[in-house]
Amino acid sequence: MKILLNLIMVGSLFAFQVQIPEASGICEKNGKFYVANDEGKIYIVKNNQIIQKVKFKGYDFEGIHCGNKYLFLAVENKSEILKLDYKFHIQKKIKLKIKNYSKAKGIEGIAKQKDKFYISIQNKRSIFVFDKKGNLIDKLKVEIKDISGVDIKGNILYFVSDKNDKLYFYDLKLKKLIKTINLPKVATEGIVKTKTGFYLANDDGDIRKLYH
């Protein structure tokens, strides 16, 4: 399936509309974007075209991370991480051990570095850190509400809020916010940092490249 995209300029963002309803997370590997949505679908986008779509029945994806060999998806309605290979075969389900969890305050963004998962939870002002077995091992009190998307590169954790419409930089060594960038009011749900810049996914079905 190939869909030509509508290219538009939005302030400091360059956007291409990819017709992905309820986009909730984005990651990138080898020039391909993997976009997850609330309906349990993963869209693969390359050269401004949707080239593939995969659906997992009964899943509500809220975030996605591209690893070297595997994809990791934050599943809100099951409070788990779904591990897939790049042929979209399920390899593992990692149940997150979260106290006082409810579907109304489900998991949102996901990033992974080594054996640690960095997870945002709706209405919580922290980033929660889990080990590879789903045990909670740390909590980063960033004091930002409604963190919808998370990514990590080196010692910097990047995350967006779909309510504040901002991109935040958090230094894991210093354990504090070091930079903030204002975003257009488009309810940004997912973020990925690539070699060429930041790409953001939102509810309107856009992928936007941030210039700053």
* pLDDT tens-digit series, residues 180-189: 998 888 788 9
Q: Are 6 and 57 in contact, with CB atoms under 8 Å apart? A: no
Average pLDDT over residues 15-36: 86
Residue type, 131: D
Q: Kindly tell me the burial class for residue 170, based on how many C-beta atoms sit within 10 Å of its own C-beta (0-12, 13-18, 19 or more).
A: buried
- At residue 21, the pLDDT reads 85
Residue 103 and residue 136: Cα distance in Å, rounded? Answer: 18
Whether the predicted model's global pTM rises above the 0.85 cut? yes
pLDDT band (50, 70, 90) for residue 104: very low
Measured CA to CA, the distance from residue 129 to residue 127 in angstroms comes to 7
pLDDT for 2 beyond 70: no
Angstrom distance (rounded) from CA 45 to CA 158:
22
Most confident option among 103-107, 145-149, 203-207:
145-149
3-state class percentages of the chain: helix first, strand second, coil last, to nearest 5: 5, 60, 35
Band (pLDDT 50/70/90 cuts) for residue 98 is confident
Residue 67 has pLDDT above 50, yes or no: yes
What ranges do the domains of the chain cover?
6-210
- For residue 133, what are its two tokens? 């077995």
Q: Given pLDDT bands bounded at 50, 70 and 90, which one contains residue 8?
A: very low
114 vs 5 pLDDT, higher one: 114
pLDDT of residue 194: 93
Q: Which of 16-20, 131-135, 199-203 has the highest mean pLDDT?
A: 131-135
CATH of domain 6-210: 2.120.10.30
